[in-house]
């Protein structure tokens, strides 16, 4: 029984060895010339301003949650579109109801001002 796991153990050892060897070779051949400008925090071409632990307004999180909710709609629409021929009229009615419920929620959030940044 333990002989069945020899292949798995060898595979893990080869993976760890290859990873370690790759890091070692990369460390030996890379240039080492640190520069304060290179060590600065950089994101999206914008210089870092302020503390990374600053609090965000709740509107940011509400908008992010709304984006996730409406982005997940695509996850449900794609399989429906692939199986559209097999689902027939029942599938169409079911998806129209689903999209209508999502649109009601979208318009509710829009009227409440959850999509406004200011």
In CATH, what number is assigned to the domain containing residue 105?
A: 1.20.58
* pLDDT computed for residue 14 by the predictor: 97
Tens-place pLDDT, residues 23-68: 999 999 998 888 887 777 766 666 667 776 778 777 778 888 888 8
Q: Where are the alpha helices (DSSP H) in the chain?
A: 6-29, 58-82, 84-112
Is 85 among the domain residues?
yes
Tokens of residue 117, six digits: 């940044």
Is 117 among the domain residues?
no
Q: What is the mean pLDDT of the chain?
A: 84
User: Quick check: pTM over 0.75?
Assistant: no
Is 13 among the domain residues?
yes
Question: How many domains is the chain partitioned into structurally?
Answer: 1
Residue numbers of the domain that contains 18: 2-112
Quick check: 79 pLDDT over 90? Answer: no
Longest Cα pair distance anywhere in the chain, in angstroms? Answer: 67
Burial class (CB in 10 A: 0-12, 13-18, 19+), 115: middle
Q: How far is Cα 58 from Cα 56, in angstroms, rounded to an integer?
A: 6
Say which DSSP state 66 is in: H
């Amino acid at each position: 029984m333990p002989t069945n796991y020899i292949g798995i153990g060898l595979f893990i050892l080869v993976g760890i060895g290859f990873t370690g060897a790759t890091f070692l070779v990369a460390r030996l051949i890379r240039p080492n010339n640190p520069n304060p400008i290179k060590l600065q925090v950089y994101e999206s071409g914008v210089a870092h301003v302020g503390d990374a632990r600053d609090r965000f307004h709740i509107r940011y999180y509400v908008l992010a949650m709304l984006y996730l909710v409406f982005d997940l709609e695509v996850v449900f629409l794609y399989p429906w579109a692939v199986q559209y021929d097999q689902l027939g009229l029942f599938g169409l009615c079911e998806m129209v109801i689903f999209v209508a419920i999502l649109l009601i929620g979208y318009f509710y959030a829009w009227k409440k001002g959850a999509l406004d940044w200011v």
